[in-house]
Amino acid sequence: MTSIARSFAWRIAIGYGVLFGLSGLALLAFIYVSTERFVTRQMEAVIEAEVQGLAERYRVAGLRGLRVLVRERIARNPASSSVYLLANREFRVLAGNLSRWPPEARGADLWVEFELYTAGEGERREAHRARARHFELRRGFHLLVGRNMRDFEEMRSAVFRTVGWGIGIAAVLAFVIAWRLRRSVVARIEAINRISRRIMQGELSQRIESHGSGDEFDELVTNLNAMLERIETLMDDVRRVSDNVAHDLRTPLGRLRTRLEQLRDMGGDPASAALAEAALGEADQMLATFNALLRIARIETRQRRHAFERVDLAAIGDDVADLYAPVAESRDITFRHSGIASPVDADADLIFQSLANLLDNAMKYTPEGGSVTLHVTSDDDTVTVVVADTGPGVPPEERDAVLRRFYRRETARSTPGSGLGLSLVAAVAHLHEASLTLEDNAPGLVVRLQFKRAR
């Protein structure tokens, strides 16, 4: 399972969520700023109109008429958010609904904001901001007209709440949409990965299903299927050529071997007989190679569990150990083996051949005085076969290569063999859906085969 930090689909989901959230935030912020500016302009226009009206009344009716008008407006709506204040040149209040002239408003004609305290619940006083226009009348009198911004602050709080809820809802919607997009993308990718894993396990005939939508994923699936078709064709051609060559050459090699035996048995010159014997050994080696190739081909084309039966891997291990114990003794190699009853569903002949190949390799590359072990262990789910030796081992960078056909390490060129032993083991492991791993034995090599335990 891909981690969240590395998942492309998760990054898409988070990216879309963040982008959608930021877009919603930007939109709502624009709406808030535009609304605030509009309300402020409207309020200032109303205040400016009132100032002009009061100033005109002062010019017409004088100070007395202005004071009467201010008192009338206050008396008309005492709970209004309007602010009226008339003061002399020393800023002593003559009329209005404020007890004193705000210090912030002492100056030339200007717009000012100051703190205004109003009665709240009980005896509590609430502080609000007020915005007003200071206008200096003739003869040194001062006029202040404004608005308590309590309603504006409540509106701003409401807008903030709306913006907050809007951002939250937008973020949730964004992540829901992104999550659905992620599920769709992951489902398509997982379908490709699932088929890819089966193809890597050797099922080259598998193909990725197309949804028929004609989108980019379908185009990718079409190209991948075409590539798989081509790879399968090439693999079949290579395998067919290899198998046909092995099959066609086995018969003439068999006839050649028979004639070499006849030549050896005719007597005559001892040198000719020795050459015939050497040629027989080479022929046997080539026949063994072709037989191994054909056997691997049959295993690779065979369907799993055809003719599988319940077998005991420990018993098969005992039989193989009995076969190779004399070889170990003749080469002064310490050979130990152990096993407990371990039932699996398998082909007993193929398992026997695989273990024989592993022990043959271990005996071949372990020097005199070394040791080889064969252990069969079991738990509730798996059966593990371990073959270990104290030979030269295989470097980590070559452990995949030695499982391929005909691959031989440079240090093994002088040792008889064809490089097909581990290839056959790998083919048998794949047929049984078993895992095959090569590990370091320090010194030497550990080969681990792990099968599913039969229920």
**Banded pLDDT at 408 (limits 50, 70, 90):** low
Tens-digit pLDDT profile for residues 279-323: 877 777 676 666 666 666 666 555 454 567 888 989 999 999 999
C-alpha closest to that of 136 among 209, 193, 203, 85: 85
Can you state the angle between helices 348-365 and 313-330, rounded to 10 degrees?
A: 30
Q: Which secondary structure element, helix H or strand E, spans residue 111, and what is its range?
A: strand 110-119
Length of the chain: 455
* Shared fold status for 8-157 and 309-452: no
pLDDT at residue 96 greater than cutoff 60: yes
Q: What is the CA radius of gyration of the chain?
A: 47
Residue bearing the bigger pLDDT, 253 or 324:
324
Share of the chain above pLDDT 90, in %: 7
**Banded pLDDT at 387 (limits 50, 70, 90):** very high
Rank 6-15, 100-109, 319-328 by mean pLDDT and report only the highest.
319-328
The CATH number given to 8-157 is: 3.30.450
- Mean pLDDT of the region 194-205: 76
38-63 exposure pattern, b = at least 16 Cβ within 10 A, e = fewer: ebeeebeeebeebbeebbebbeeeeb
Query: CA 346, CA 453: separation in Å to the nearest integer?
Result: 10
Could you tell me the pTM of the whole model?
A: 0.47
Backbone angles phi, psi at 82, to 5 degrees: -75, 145
Question: What is the CATH T-level fold of the domain 216-300, as seen in this structure?
Answer: Helix Hairpins (1.10.287)
In the predicted model, what is the mean pLDDT of the chain? 79
Q: In the chain, what are the domain boundaries?
A: 8-157, 216-300, 309-452
Q: Which residues does 53 contact at the CB level (< 8 Å), separation at least 6?
A: none
Give the 3-state secondary structure of residue 1: coil
| Residue position matching structure tokens 């008309």 | 76
Tokens of 358: 């592993």
Which stretch of 96-110, 375-389, 414-428 has the lowest confidence by average pLDDT? Answer: 414-428
In DSSP notation, 134-198 reads EEEPGGG-EEEEEEETHHHHHHHHHHHHHHHHHHHHHHHHHHHHHHHHHHHHHHHHHHHHHHHHH
Tokens of 339: 């096993």
- Mean pLDDT of the region 117-132: 66
Q: Report the pLDDT value the prediction gives residue 413, as an integer from 0 to 100.
A: 46
Sheet holding 371-378, edge to edge: 334-339, 371-378, 382-389, 445-452, 435-440
Question: What is the CATH T-level fold of the domain 309-452, as seen in this structure?
Answer: Heat Shock Protein 90 (3.30.565)
Rank 181-185, 374-378, 403-407 by mean pLDDT and report only the highest.
374-378
**Banded pLDDT at 261 (limits 50, 70, 90):** confident
pLDDT at residue 60 greater than cutoff 60: yes
Terminal CA-CA length for the chain: 28
**Banded pLDDT at 396 (limits 50, 70, 90):** confident
C-alpha closest to that of 382 among 337, 425, 338, 343: 343
- The alpha carbon of residue 338 and the mean position of all alpha carbons in its chain are separated, in whole angstroms, by 42
Which stretch of 34-43, 117-126, 205-214, 394-403 has the lowest confidence by average pLDDT? Answer: 117-126
Query: CA 111, CA 283: separation in Å to the nearest integer?
Result: 111
pLDDT at residue 27 greater than cutoff 70: yes
Name the DSSP class of 70. Answer: H
Asked if 297 contacts 260 with a C-beta cutoff of 8 angstroms, the reply is no
Query: CA 250, CA 448: separation in Å to the nearest integer?
Result: 33
pLDDT at residue 21 greater than cutoff 50: yes
Give the 3-state secondary structure of residue 44: helix
Asked if 431 contacts 437 with a C-beta cutoff of 8 angstroms, the reply is no
